């Protein structure tokens, strides 16, 4: 495994890979890796010849009162996990490599970035789209892998790739969860034991609505209400929305298109997000529920 810190070195290494006509996969991360990230690596290794994991805590996607300075970091541990997982290249640039002096060009996402997290974190998806766009330019992968837990981010990145004619396949990998159902997140380490127990309300609420959906419920308000009544142990529910999985616009009753039930909530001072996908049957295949 190579650990590379500059774009010039990265491009030299990948030029050798491409000269051998090998398929390159990219897993963009902010580090402090967990099994969710490693599932993305495994998906990349299954589909690609060479896997690149980027590790960069991107300041432009954090708001002024968010946790940029305290975001968990453990680069040596991340390197070891990547090595054990069969990663070929860890790309770990510093801030100046990504945002050099006088940097002023940003990617401005559109309507998909406005609801849900976009409404509560102004500028967040502008930062995400910009850094992912830069990583796409630097690595030039054939495929890039993202986790379903960040459902809105996946939608924004996929739209960006289409709109900017980037020859990159965007693959979304199902959310990886702890045995009790909590979605894996680097921010879970902020939770105390008591907060960790209360945080389970998020996934349990979403699962309850998903169970009702599987039983035939198609009313949007009912599905939201079923999830919401189980979320009373969180300290603040920021949003709970059932949206069209493609447009992210509010879903309409009765559900006739695949939808995503998405939540963001604070437990203590920690903001957590999660979602379940509610897929309707089609003539080609039976419905699947990714939870």
d(CA 24, CA 52): 7
Q: Which residues contact 103 (CB under 8 A, 6 or more apart)?
A: none
Residue spans of beta strands (DSSP E) within the chain: 2-4, 24-29, 50-55, 89-91, 143-147, 169-173, 236-244, 259-267, 270-278
124 among known catalytic residues: no
Alpha helices, H only, 166-219: 193-214
- Residue pair 130/138 in contact by the 8 Å Cβ criterion: no
Using alpha carbons only, give the angle 246, 247, 253 rounded to the nearest 5 degrees. 90
> Which one of the listed residues 10, 31, 37, 87 is annotated catalytic?
37
Return the structure tokens found at 271.
């903001």
Q: Which residues are catalytic?
A: 37
């Amino acid at each position: 495994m190579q650990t590379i810190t500059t774009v010039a070195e990265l491009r030299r290494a990948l030029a050798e890979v491409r000269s051998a006509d090998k398929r390159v996969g990219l897993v963009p991360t902010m580090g402090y890796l967990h099994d969710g990230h490693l599932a993305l690596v495994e998906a990349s290794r299954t589909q690609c010849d060479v896997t690149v994991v980027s590790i960069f805590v991107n300041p432009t996607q954090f708001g002024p009162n968010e946790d940029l300075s305290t975001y968990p970091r453990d680069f040596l541990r991340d390197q070891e996990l990547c090595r054990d997982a069969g990663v070929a290249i860890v790309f770990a640039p510093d801030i100046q490599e990504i945002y050099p002096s006088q940097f002023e060009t940003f990617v401005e996402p559109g309507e998909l970035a406005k609801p849900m997290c976009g409404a509560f974190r102004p500028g967040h998806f502008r930062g995400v789209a910009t850094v992912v766009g830069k990583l796409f330019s630097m690595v030039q992968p054939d495929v890039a892998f993202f986790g379903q837990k960040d459902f809105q981010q996946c939608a924004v990145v996929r739209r960006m790739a289409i709109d900017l004619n980037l020859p990159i396949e965007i693959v979304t990998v199902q959310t990886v969860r702890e045995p009790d159902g909590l979605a894996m997140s680097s921010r879970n380490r902020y939770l105390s034991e008591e907060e960790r127990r209360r945080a389970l309300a998020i996934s349990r609420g979403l699962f309850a609505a998903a169970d009702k959906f599987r039983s035939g419920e198609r009313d949007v308000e009912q599905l939201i209400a079923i999830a919401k009544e189980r979320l009373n142990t969180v300290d603040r529910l920021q949003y709970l929305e059932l949206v069209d999985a493609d447009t992210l616009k509010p879903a309409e009753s009765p559900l006739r298109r695949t939808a995503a039930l998405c939540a963001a909530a604070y437990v203590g001072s920690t903001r957590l997000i999660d979602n379940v996908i509610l897929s309707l049957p089609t003539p080609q295949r039976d419905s699947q529920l990714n939870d």
